[in-house]
Amino acid sequence: MTSAGMVAAGHPLTAEAGARVLREGGNAVDAAVAAVLASWVAEPLLTGPGAGGYMLVAGAGEEPTLLDFFVEAPGRGADPARRADLLPAEVSFGEAVQVFNCGAASCGAYGNPAGLAEALERWGSLDRAALAAPAAQLARDGVALNNAQAYVFEILEPILTSTPESRAVFAPGGRALREGDHFRSGELADTIERFGAEGAEPFYSGDLADAVVAWLDARGGQLTRADLGAYEPVAREPVRAAYRGRAVLTNPPPSAGGTLLALAMARLDERSDGPPSAVDVVTVMEEAQGLRTPDFAAGLAEHGFADRFLAARLGSTTHISVLDGDGRACAVTCTNGEGSGLVVPGTGIHVNNVMGEQDLNPLGFFTFPPGRRMPSMMAPTVVLGPGGEVELALGSAGSNRIRSAILQVIVGVVDHGLRAQDAVLAPRVHFEDGLVYAEPGTDVEALRATGRQLVTFRDRNLFFGGAQAVERDRVSGTLSGAGDPRRGGAAVAA
C-alpha cells in the first residue's frame, strides 16, 4: 500500500476505529465494519444491531457491488388484528418539524448483523472477533456524548422516554443524556462480542432473535421468528449515472434515493457544462421529488426498474466512507430510523422504527407485504474517474435530505474544484413539498427571483444531513477526507 488510507464518519471514535484497522493492515471493508460496530456505541440513536443499511464496495479491481441489508417489512405468520397502533412523536429541528412514529408496530426485520457478517465473508481479511472487540470495550467503558450526539438525544427525547427500558438506557433520571454524560451498556457490549464470536446466527435463529421477537410480540409488534429466519443480505449491481466524464455509482432499487440521485446528476450534466447554480440544483431536486409518486414507489420492487425509470427521463442515520491504500472504497450507510423506543432487556438492542417512518412509507403505513425490502433514501455513493479509479466515496444521513446532500457535495468537488472538506462545509439547499430550505450562504435572492418559497436556517443544521466523504486527488494520489460538522463528523487518516 502507498498509504494506509482514510476514514470519514459521523463521530471521531467511529472514524478512529476504522483508521486503526487500516493501520493494522486491514482493507477498506474491514475498516468499515469496525467503524460500524463502534458507531453502535458512539452514535447509539442513529444505528445499532437493530438497524439496517447498505454498503457499496468498488475500486482496486473489485466488481462494484451494493450489499443491501436494509430493513424488511415484518409479518410472516403474524395476526394483523393484534398489531398495536403506531405512537406519534414530534421531532423539532428548530426551523422545521417532523412527526415520526415509534412503538412495537414500527419495528421491521433488522439487517445490520447479517450485512456486516456477509461483508466480511465476501471482502474481509481480518478476524471478526478482533474487529468487534474494541467496540465491545467501548460499550463497557462508555462514551461521553459530544455536542452533536447530545443534540440527537435532545430532539429524540420523546421517543427515548416512551418506555421504561429505553428510559433506563438513554434517559436515566427521567431526562435524556446530555453533552458530557456517558452512554454505556454492558448488555450491548455482550451483544457485540456475540457478533464477533458467532456472526449473525444468534440475531436471526438463536437466543437473541427469540428475545427480540418475544419482547415485541407482547407489545403488539408484527416481527416474527419466520421474518428473522428468512432474512438475507442481497448483493445488487449499483445504478450508474454519467457526470462530467465520470461514473457515479449509487444505490439501486428497491432503494429510492439512489435512483433519484442518479436522475438528478444526469439532469445537471445535461443542463450545462459549467458549475450549476443554486437555481439549477433546486430545479433538479424539484423534478426528482415530483417523480416520487405512488407508481414510482410501487415499481421499485420490479426487476430492471432503475434502467426503465432513468431511460424514460434522461432523453436518524449515519454514514462511513473508507478509502484504503490500494484504492478500494467502502461506503456504508446505516439507520435505526429514530428508534422505536423498544430496548430488548438482556440484549442492548434498540429496535428500528422503519415501519413508522412516513418518508419510507409513501404508499401509507403497513402496505408492504411481509418480506418486502423497504424503500429508502440512503445512497452510499462512489465517483469513478475516467480510468475507472475511485475519486470520491461518500454518503449522508438525513432522511429525504440524503440525496440533496450527496448531490451538492459531488457538485462541489467535481464542478467547483473544492476539496472534500470544503464541499461538505458548503451551505446546502433542499427542496421538498413546494418549499426550498436553505442554509446561510446560499444565493437566496436568486431562488426568490424564481418565485420559490424559502425557509431559511440561521446556522448549519442536522436537518440537511451528515455527509461523510473521502477522496483521492486525481494528480497526486493524496487521500483526504471530510466529516460533516452538522452531525459531529470527523475524518481520520490511517
Per-residue exposure over 414-427, b if at least 16 CB sit within 10 Å of its own CB, e if not: bbeebbbbebbbbb
Distance of alpha carbon 137 from alpha carbon 197, whole angstroms: 15
CB 268, CB 248: distance < 8 Å: no
Strand boundaries in 60-119, DSSP class E: 62-69, 87-92, 97-102
Grid coordinates representing 151 are 443534540
233 burial (CB, 10 Å; 0-12 / 13-18 / 19+) is buried
- Cβ neighbours of residue 63 closer than 8 Å, sequence gap 6 or more: none
Active site residue 317: yes
Distance of alpha carbon 357 from alpha carbon 337, whole angstroms: 7
- Enumerate the β-bridge partners of residue 438: 429, 456
Helix (H) or strand (E) holding 196: helix 186-198
Distance of alpha carbon 5 from alpha carbon 493, whole angstroms: 6
Per-residue exposure over 186-210, b if at least 16 CB sit within 10 Å of its own CB, e if not: ebbbbbbbbbbebbbebbbeeebbe
Distance of alpha carbon 455 from alpha carbon 437, whole angstroms: 5
Grid coordinates representing 96 are 422545521
Cis peptide before 254, with omega less than 30 degrees from 0?
Answer: yes
Grid coordinates representing 388 are 475507472
Nearest to 430 by CA among 282, 263, 275: 282
Q: Where are the alpha helices (DSSP H) in 244-365?
A: 257-271, 278-290, 294-299, 305-313
* Strand bridging mode 62-69 / 234-236: antiparallel
Using the structure block, give the residue that is written with the C-alpha cell 454519467. Answer: 242
Q: Is the dihedral of CA 433, 456, 445, 423 positive or negative?
A: negative
Q: Of 14, 259, 317, 442, which residue is the catalytic one? A: 317
Using the structure block, give the residue that is written with the C-alpha cell 440533496. Answer: 404
Distance of alpha carbon 191 from alpha carbon 326, whole angstroms: 32
CB 339, CB 352: distance < 8 Å: yes
- Enumerate the β-bridge partners of residue 300: none
Residue positions annotated with a catalytic role: 317
